[in-house]
Amino acid sequence: MNISYIDNIPDVELYHDLRTSVDWKVFSKEQSEKALKNSRFCIIAKDGEQTVAMGRAVGDGMYYTIVDVIVRPQYQGKKIGTSIVNRLMESIEDEMTDGCRTSIQLIAAHGKEGFYVKQGFKILPNEYSGPALRKVIYT
Ligand SMILES: CC(C)(COP(=O)(O)OP(=O)(O)OC[C@H]1O[C@@H](n2cnc3c(N)ncnc32)[C@H](O)[C@@H]1OP(=O)(O)O)[C@@H](O)C(=O)NCCC(=O)NCCS
């Protein structure tokens, strides 16, 4: 297995296929296309011609959110997820100049927080911050 990592945004069909592979719901085509286009950084992992994983970050230079970290089930447990998160964090860091401070937020799927703790993320609440909050809006 020779995995290559590429800065690239998947097309919407591939994105939906990756989400479906891990039993996540998909958004509408229009919403997905717009969201993917607005990614600040997006990494895909390929095994030959097949895209086997992805992850992306949205943000403004001060605050970033990591989303859509997806590794196809048959490729999980091979450090591909780790490589993707590391590459996203490197891209974010590369943009920083001296004196900058930036924070990266994410909400882990149930039971996945241990994966992010291994990448240096701190579980909230902690001594500095309260719990994370989320509001989901439907139209
Ligand atoms: C979670 C996910 C991204 C991890 O990617 P992966 O490539 O399988 O994970 P890695 O091989 O890079 O694992 C790195 C480390 O995290 C650990 N880890 C992986 N999943 C974990 C979990 N759910 N809980 C605790 N630790 C976990 C691994 O054991 C490994 O530990 P080690 O370094 O001590 O060996 C992947 O399993 C996945 O896509 N799951 C379905 C979608 C999902 O839930 N994504 C996360 C959204 S928040």
Domains in the chain, CATH or no CATH each: 3-117 (3.40.630.30)
- In DSSP notation, 3-69 reads EEEEE-PPPHHHHHHHHHHTT-----HHHHHHHHHT-SEEEEEEETTEEEEEEEEEE-SSEEEEEEE
From ligand 1's centre to the CA of 118, what distance in Å? 9
Atom 4 in ligand 1: which residue has the minimum CA distance? Answer: 81
The number of residues making up the chain comes to: 139
Please report which confidence band the pLDDT of residue 18 belongs to, taking 50, 70 and 90 as the band edges.
Answer: very high
Question: What pLDDT is stored for residue 1 in this prediction?
Answer: 84
For the chain, percent of residues with pLDDT exceeding 90: 99
User: Which residue among 115, 116, 119, 134 is best mutated to probe the pocket of ligand 1, counting the most ligand atoms within 8 A of its Cβ?
Assistant: 115
Predicted pLDDT of residue 29: 98
User: Looking at residue 32, what is its pLDDT?
Assistant: 98
Residue among 27, 21, 77 nearest 51 (CA): 21
Model pLDDT for residues 20-69, shown as the tens digit of each residue: 999 999 999 999 999 999 999 999 999 999 999 999 999 999 999 999 99
Nearest atom in ligand 1 to 77's CA:
11
- What pLDDT does residue 104 have? 98
Strands 41-47 and 3-7: antiparallel
Residue 62 phi, psi (nearest 5): -100, -40
What is residue 92's predicted lDDT score, i.e. its pLDDT?
Answer: 98
Pocket test for ligand 1, best of 47, 66, 75, 112 (most atoms within 8 A of CB): 112
d(CA 21, CA 41) in angstroms, rounded, equals 22
Question: Does any ligand 1 atom lie closer than 6 A to the CB of residue 78?
Answer: yes
- Regarding the beta carbon of 121 and ligand 1, being less than 6 Å apart is answered no
